[in-house]
């Protein structure tokens, strides 16, 4: 019998640990799925951050129809849980359709999923002017679907005092551009930090948020890129305030204002939430400013990963504007 393409292949020296894992466990997974999963073509992407092996294959459904799917292994407990939880969400489904999943392969305790193949994306590699709007609409659908599930874990509490100390230390010691301006504004943040953090931590409502909302985590089911956005990478889903998703999406474009073109992701998400009947608190613009201030003030603390001069300059501008509005 001629082996299936995935079974016949062997990992090359250039393959990383993820694809090697896929090659090792793929045959056992196919056997476990009793012939419904075809040969797996393992691949790597430039944008993938997780440690999962990812592959493409054909899936044969109960009617005998075949469709393209994506296999991921291992997946985190959180991503596994939310993929499963949101399968009953109203259409259009805000996350990929889950065709099969499990917690073990060939005697190994290891979570895996088989999900639909999304033919277009990620959106970040195919920029269009409506991407921000459609991504916030997807975030609102996600938040609405997740809201029916009780909060069963504590919300994350960042150590803003420690992060601000790291920022101030970085500004003193790294020869940072506009260092004098940074030192002055961070000193002002330090004076008001307790009040800012206290107000931020009292925010409400607290509900489930995506936690990693950006265009690299947006795909579509339409090969041409139209239609509703589908959100992938659910490993950071957590309790929080909905403006956290919006400000995270916004801040990734601070250094690319031409992409924002006056669009405000906070306002876009607020509008999308209202359309779905979700709560939009009256003080959300102030909460968004609090979040911008805290994130922007911490930018120098992450010089190794976010030290692009254009981003640091944009964060500094946002920080100054935010403090003026709070005054």
261-290 residue pLDDT tens? 889 999 999 999 999 999 999 999 999 999
**pTM score, two decimals?**
0.92
> How deeply is 52 buried, as exposed, middle or buried, from its count of CB atoms within 10 A (0-12, 13-18, 19+)?
buried
* Res. 2: pLDDT tops 90: no
- Tell me what the mean pLDDT of segment 58-70 comes to: 96
Distance of CA 12 to the CA centre of its chain: 30
| DSSP structure class, residue 96 | P
CA distance 230 to 138: 7
pLDDT of 1 over the 70 cut: no
Q: Which residues contact 94 (CB under 8 A, 6 or more apart)?
A: 86, 138, 141, 142, 145, 228, 230, 231
Distance separating alpha carbons of residues 72 and 63, to the nearest angstrom: 24
Q: Which residue has the higher pLDDT, 14 or 127?
A: 127
Output the pLDDT for position 9.
42
Cα–Cα distance for residue pair 54/111, rounded to 1 Å: 13
Domains of the chain: 5-116 (3.30.200.20), 123-326 (3.90.1200.10)
In this predicted model, what pLDDT tens digit does every residue of 106-119 receive, in sequence order?
A: 899 999 999 999 99
């Amino acid at each position: 019998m001629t082996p299936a393409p995935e079974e016949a292949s062997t990992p090359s020296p250039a393959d990383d640990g993820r694809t090697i894992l896929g090659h090792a466990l793929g045959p056992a997974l196919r056997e476990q799925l009793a012939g419904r999963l075809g040969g797996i073509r393992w691949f790597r992407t430039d944008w993938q951050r997780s440690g999962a092996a990812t592959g493409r294959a054909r899936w044969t459904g109960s009617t005998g129809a075949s469709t393209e799917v994506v296999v991921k292994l291992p997946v985190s407990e959180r991503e596994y849980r939310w993929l499963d939880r949101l399968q009953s969400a109203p259409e259009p489904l805000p996350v990929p359709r889950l065709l099969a999943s499990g917690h073990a392969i060939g005697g190994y305790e290891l979570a895996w999923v088989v999900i639909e193949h999304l033919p277009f994306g990620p959106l970040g590699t195919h920029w269009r002017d409506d991407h921000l709007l459609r991504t916030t609409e997807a975030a609102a659908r996600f938040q609405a679907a997740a809201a029916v599930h009780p909060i069963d874990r504590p919300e994350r509490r960042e150590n803003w005092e420690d992060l601000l100390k790291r920022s101030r230390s970085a500004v003193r010691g790294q020869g940072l551009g506009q260092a004098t301006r940074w030192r002055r504004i961070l000193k002002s943040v330090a004076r008001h930090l307790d009040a800012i953090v206290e107000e931020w931590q009292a925010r409400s409502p607290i509900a489930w948020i995506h936690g990693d909302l950006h265009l690299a985590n947006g795909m579509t089911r339409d090969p041409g890129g139209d239609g509703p956005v589908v959100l992938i990478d659910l490993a950071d889903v957590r309790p929080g305030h909905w403006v956290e998703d919006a400000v995270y999406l916004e801040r990734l474009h601070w250094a690319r204002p031409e992409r924002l073109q006056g669009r405000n992701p906070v306002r876009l998400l607020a509008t999308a939430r209202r359309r779905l009947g979700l709560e939009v608190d009256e003080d959300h613009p102030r909460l968004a400013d609090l979040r911008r201030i805290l994130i922007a003030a911490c930018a120098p603390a992450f010089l190794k990963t976010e030290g692009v001069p254009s981003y640091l300059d944009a964060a500094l501008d946002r920080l100054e504007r935010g403090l003026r509005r709070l005054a």
